[in-house]
Structure 1
Amino acid sequence: MTDTLAEARLLPTPDETWWRQAAVYQIYPRSFADSNGDGVGDLSGITDRVPYLVELGIDAVWLSPFYPSALADGGYDVDDYRNVDPRLGTLADFDVMTQALHAAGIRLIVDIVPNHTSDRHEWFREALASPKGSAARERYIFRDGAGPDGAEPPADWESTFGGPAWEPVGDGQWYFHFFAKEQPDLNWNNPEVRADFRRTLRFWSDRGVDGFRIDVAHGLAKDLGRTLPTQAELDALPKDGSHPLWDRDDVHEIYAEWRAVFNEYAPARTAVAEAWVASDRRARYASADGLGQAFNFDLLEADFDAGQFRDIIAFNLGLAAESGSSTTWVFSNHDVVRHATRYGLPPRNGAAAKQGSQWLLRGGPASELDAELGLRRARAATLLELALPGSAYLYQGEELGLQEVAHIPAAERQDPAFFRNPGVDMGRDGCRVPLPWTRTGPSYGFGAGGSHLPQPAWFTGYSVEAEAGVAGSTLSLYRTALALRSRLQAAESMEWLETGRADVLAFRRPNGWTSVTNFGTEAFTLPAGEVLVSSTGLEAGSLPGAATAWLQA
């Protein structure tokens, strides 16, 4: 073992429960910082920006996929689970980055993509070169085609990115891919698949990784049976644990095996499930004998509305108590329209995230977007989020108040959802545009050259250089709030406070830390206490509309 790898294994502190109330910052590595000027962010770029992360005040980094990939789906088509994409660096660069983060007291969570590999993975290449019924094909989901010569797909299923979900291989058989055709689904009934992923978890844990974000965690276990249902029949089946594809009860047998691996380490490695399941089925993913935590996307899908927020918060704190875990709070990530933009659009009855996508489909006309109001609401929502018990997941650039980039020429887009659903889905490129670090330069400080997605001219005013040290800037607000959060963090409980107004929410943590959010338009007189921070300026001791303030009783 090299000295670098040995140091990378060191943890900031031996706290087993660090993840329960952590502030986690998601880095989409290709769009964070480019160290060599090739237009693509890389691991060395992250290492160079560790001082920025320290000053921001986060507890952990969640690193989106950095593995070798053809980028058919932004890196979620993985060629090799135990290596680094050469465009992003090397394993040695990964070790240096991990060491730098740990030396700064920041933990590291990495993305694991277990539902599917890429079609360039050595296993899939072997499967295509092997005959029907071979062990190589048993690692994936192959089926004979319909009709006398197998020329028709086994079923009329549709891929989430558009088009058929079954792809022919030329010998009468077809393979299943729920996502892009370059992402063949794995067969998790195969012991070899299970064993190889346990090896992957140990590989990265041995290199110092503190936790894992599990992509499509609810999709691994499948039971297709001998006769496949039609798409209409499939859609009509309840997702109650017995669905052929989604949220099957037996998926938790896999995660019990993973938990045994996580517990081999001290402190135990943690994990968080990306499981888009019914709320009453989420707790099992977050159980202590499973992954330990599961994403709660409910606030991400809500409008800026006091009633929706209160119901969601109360419900998810109840789920956390049921599982023994802590809940997670998130407003933006690499898959959705940024919340500073969503909150500036007309409400859609709790479907704000989808409504933001529809706004993109219409070309993002400025007449529908009140960017100033959207940012004001986003700042208020985030300050509320950071006061809640549980962990907060932040997406790169939200600390700058970045809006969604709506206008990207079709020729420069990258997301398969755009190309495979023309006129239906504008894709996710708008939230993945490389960050602006400086006011000027060919890529606003992202790198010495251009950027792999075009940056708009308005980025100059949202750059780190433009906001750092500026009172009232969104970056200054995040830095202040995260520092206070670290100091004020208390037991994982809260008490709702009566405000006398349906559009104002207030709650108190056990140490007297109080958060008040005004979702309305009329000012609200704050209760007694020292004002620690507010998302916007106060008006003679009153909290204006679309604003949050923290107080200490």
Structure 2
Amino acid sequence: MTKTYGADPNWWRQACVYQIYPRSFADANGDGIGDLQGITEKVPYLQQLGVDAVWLSPFYPSALKDGGYDVADYRDVDPKIGTLADFDAMMTAFKAAGIKVIVDIVPNHSSDDHVWFQEALRSPKGSPARDRYIFRDGLGPNKDQPPSDWVCIFGGSAWEPVGDGQWYLHLFDTSQPDFNWRHPEVRADFLTTLRFWADRGVSGFRVDVAHGLAKDMSEPLKSQEEMHTLFLETIENGARPNIHPLWDRDEVHEIYREWRKVFDEYDPPLTAVAEAWVASDRKHIYASPEGLGQSFSFDMLMCNFRRDEFRDTIEASLKDASGSGSSTTWVFSNHDVVRHATRYGLPKAVEKGGSHGNFASFCKDYLVSRGKDPVCDVELGLRRARAATLMMLALPGSAYLYQGEELGLPEVADIADQDRQDPTFFRNNGEEMGRDGCRVPIPWTKTGKNFGFGGGKTAHIPMPEWMGEFAVEAEDPDAASTLNLYRRALGLRRELQADETLEWVNDEPEVLHFKRNGGWEVAMNFDGPEYELPKGEVLVASGKLVGGKVPKNTAVWLKSA
């Protein structure tokens, strides 16, 4: 049994985890791309921020056709961002700072540069090499039509021809062929990968597309229309196990039971969190102690800025977590969505209707117009984002933060076409703008080349002129800055979190007010009249209080009298 640092096996249950998108965090060598040395240099910043762990998005060798999620080698570091020695030095620095490390694992698909896929392309139909992936004969007399009309997540056909009458499945980009998880070599190789990084000191894994590994590819393949209908049934109308050929099949949990055996070889056991877009009554399976242990709850991220949606989501998420014996994960922003400081500043952010139904549509309109129509109210969006985050950090469970949100960064909507990188943009002929706007590097200095991200080449996604006002250098000395709000809240969170219980205080129509064990309570006013606080000491507030009352778009933590 291998010993990892940090003795508490339950450290993850109420941890605050900071997501680093390595290529956009800090560029130490000046080549325009963030690197591991840059991350290592910023460990003191993360320690001062007060996070318990970091989650590193992929840093593996990659052609970057999908932001590093096209992995060519699962047990190495991309030469553009470092070496294994750099990784080990980074781990040493994090260990000294008392910060744990979670790494992204991408098991649904590899890069088309992966040695196995290159072998598959060189091998004939029916070969063992092709069986590690999902190849099918094409349709038509010349087999020049795809095996089905399936559409991939990024747009366009989910099948790509290889020139000999066969096609391979890629649920994402053509550069990301899907693995065949029925193949024993695929299963065994990923167990080796898990141990490889665990032996280098990581404490766990974030599992990309965790609900997609197991697939039913029996003939005849269903049509895209049938698949869409089944998808809606699995997500919106209550889950029925195994009705969809590609998503959320029960067989996937056989894989994760194998992984759990590896996790339990370590002391304390490794943890994992599933990225699983599944019906709420299926999340607990991914989060079970026999499986990955946690599953992301994206429900709050999908909420409009409305009190009732937030409260319903909090209650449902806590119930889901208790059913699995896990803890809830709270998240507002990540590398795949429009930053919440921007979402909450859009005109429809408080619109009623649907099951969180406006999130995707109003963000899409904003991105397609490149921030021109609708226009984001930056000040309002930030005020709401500060309040929502302060409230979220007081909830039972773990909190996931995305780099730059502690600075109040808004989305970068206006990016030149030649600077875009997201395959979504290219596969949809620019009709979908993609996720580049939340992946622009973060600013460290008010002025200078790339605002301190790196002093050499222009950042891989150029940084707009206004970024300097959100820089760490600008916010660090300002007691009222978003950065210092996060620092205060995270410090108090560590001090005050006692257990995972929550008690609602009232049913005010525009206010969330709850108590936590340990003698503290939290009130957030969405859009109501000024809310009078009970007697007690104000610990932290997201904005100015008015005569001891909480104005709208504001949250406050209170030590009970």
Identify the TM-score tier after normalising by the shorter chain. over 0.9
- 2:173 counterpart of 1:146: no
Check conservation: 2:533, 2:550, Cα contact below 8 A: yes
Aligned to 2:56: 63
Q: CA deviation at 1:520?
A: 1.0
SS for the counterpart of 1:300 is: helix
CA–CA separation in structure 2 for the residues paired with 1:31 and 1:19: 25
Match of 2:74 among 65, 81, 92: 81
Check conservation: 2:3, 2:267, Cα contact below 8 A: no
Q: Give the 5 Å matches for 1:523-534.
A: 523-534=530-541
Q: CA deviation at 1:552?
A: 0.8
Match of 1:205 among 176, 198, 202: 198
Check conservation: 2:511, 2:528, Cα contact below 8 A: no
Match of 2:396 among 377, 386, 389: 389
Aligned to 1:360: 367
Q: Give the 5 Å matches for 1:73-222.
A: 73-222=66-215
Match of 2:16 among 12, 20, 23: 23
SS for the counterpart of 2:450 is: coil
CA–CA separation in structure 2 for the residues paired with 1:135 and 1:198: 20
Q: Say if 1:244 and 1:207 are closer, same or farther in 2 by CA, change over 3 A.
A: same
Q: CA deviation at 1:60?
A: 0.2
**1:361 is matched by which residue type in structure 2?**
V
- 2:362 counterpart of 1:369: no
CA–CA separation in structure 2 for the residues paired with 1:212 and 1:543: 39
CA–CA separation in structure 1 for the residues paired with 2:16 and 2:255: 28
**2:515 is matched by which residue type in structure 1?**
R
Aligned length: 544
Aligned to 1:480: 488
Match of 2:225 among 206, 227, 232: 232
- 2:460 counterpart of 1:470: no
- Cα deviation, 1:42-79, whole Å, max 9, x if unaligned, reads 00000000000000000000000000000110000000
CA–CA separation in structure 2 for the residues paired with 1:418 and 1:353: 19
Check conservation: 1:305, 1:519, Cα contact below 8 A: yes
Check conservation: 1:337, 1:357, Cα contact below 8 A: no
When the two chains are superposed, the root-mean-square deviation of aligned CA atoms in Å is: 1.1
CA–CA separation in structure 1 for the residues paired with 2:287 and 2:431: 34
Aligned to 1:444: 451
Aligned to 2:464: 456
- Cα deviation, 1:219-248, whole Å, max 9, x if unaligned, reads 000011021111112222243221110000
CA–CA separation in structure 2 for the residues paired with 1:382 and 1:528: 23
- Cα deviation, 1:273-302, whole Å, max 9, x if unaligned, reads 000001111110000000000000001000
- Cα deviation, 1:74-110, whole Å, max 9, x if unaligned, reads 0000000000000010000000101100110000000
**1:207 is matched by which residue type in structure 2?**
R
Aligned to 1:330: 331
Check conservation: 1:336, 1:353, Cα contact below 8 A: no
Alignment identity in percent?
Answer: 63
CA–CA separation in structure 1 for the residues paired with 2:6 and 2:145: 57
Aligned to 2:306: 305
Q: CA deviation at 1:12?
A: 4.4
CA–CA separation in structure 1 for the residues paired with 2:460 and 2:294: 33
Aligned to 1:241: 241
SS for the counterpart of 1:136 is: helix
Q: Say if 1:367 and 1:120 are closer, same or farther in 2 by CA, change over 3 A.
A: closer
Aligned to 1:6: none
**1:234 is matched by which residue type in structure 2?**
M
Check conservation: 2:253, 2:291, Cα contact below 8 A: yes
Q: Runs of 4+ in structure 1 displaced over 4 angstroms?
A: 9-12
Q: CA deviation at 1:373?
A: 0.6
**2:438 is matched by which residue type in structure 1?**
C
Q: CA deviation at 1:367?
A: 5.6
- Cα deviation, 1:23-48, whole Å, max 9, x if unaligned, reads 00000000000000001000000000
SS for the counterpart of 2:85 is: helix
**1:539 is matched by which residue type in structure 2?**
V
Check conservation: 1:216, 1:274, Cα contact below 8 A: yes
**1:183 is matched by which residue type in structure 2?**
Q
CA–CA separation in structure 2 for the residues paired with 1:60 and 1:352: 32
Q: CA deviation at 1:415?
A: 0.6
Aligned to 2:416: 409
CA–CA separation in structure 1 for the residues paired with 2:512 and 2:396: 15
CA–CA separation in structure 1 for the residues paired with 2:444 and 2:16: 22
Q: CA deviation at 1:424?
A: 2.5
- Cα deviation, 1:355-377, whole Å, max 9, x if unaligned, reads 21321112211762111110000
Q: CA deviation at 1:329?
A: 0.2
Aligned to 1:3: none
CA–CA separation in structure 1 for the residues paired with 2:136 and 2:163: 12
- 2:259 counterpart of 1:258: yes
Check conservation: 2:3, 2:268, Cα contact below 8 A: no
Check conservation: 1:12, 1:106, Cα contact below 8 A: no
Check conservation: 1:29, 1:43, Cα contact below 8 A: yes
Check conservation: 2:341, 2:409, Cα contact below 8 A: yes
CA–CA separation in structure 1 for the residues paired with 2:443 and 2:430: 29
CA–CA separation in structure 2 for the residues paired with 1:64 and 1:423: 25
SS for the counterpart of 2:167 is: strand
Q: CA deviation at 1:522?
A: 2.1
TM-score using structure 2 length: 0.96
**1:446 is matched by which residue type in structure 2?**
F
Q: CA deviation at 1:489?
A: 1.0
CA–CA separation in structure 1 for the residues paired with 2:440 and 2:535: 43
Aligned to 1:494: 502
Q: CA deviation at 1:528?
A: 1.2
Check conservation: 2:365, 2:373, Cα contact below 8 A: no
CA–CA separation in structure 1 for the residues paired with 2:67 and 2:268: 32
Aligned to 2:287: 286
- Cα deviation, 1:155-200, whole Å, max 9, x if unaligned, reads 1111111111111101111000000000000000111100000010
SS for the counterpart of 2:494 is: helix
Check conservation: 1:534, 1:548, Cα contact below 8 A: yes
CA–CA separation in structure 1 for the residues paired with 2:423 and 2:174: 10
CA–CA separation in structure 2 for the residues paired with 1:83 and 1:357: 36
CA–CA separation in structure 1 for the residues paired with 2:430 and 2:89: 43
Aligned to 2:237: none
Check conservation: 2:509, 2:528, Cα contact below 8 A: no
SS for the counterpart of 1:299 is: helix
CA–CA separation in structure 1 for the residues paired with 2:485 and 2:514: 20
Q: CA deviation at 1:521?
A: 4.3
Aligned to 1:43: 36
Unaligned ranges ≥5, structure 1:
1-8
- 2:6 counterpart of 1:13: yes
Aligned to 1:274: 275
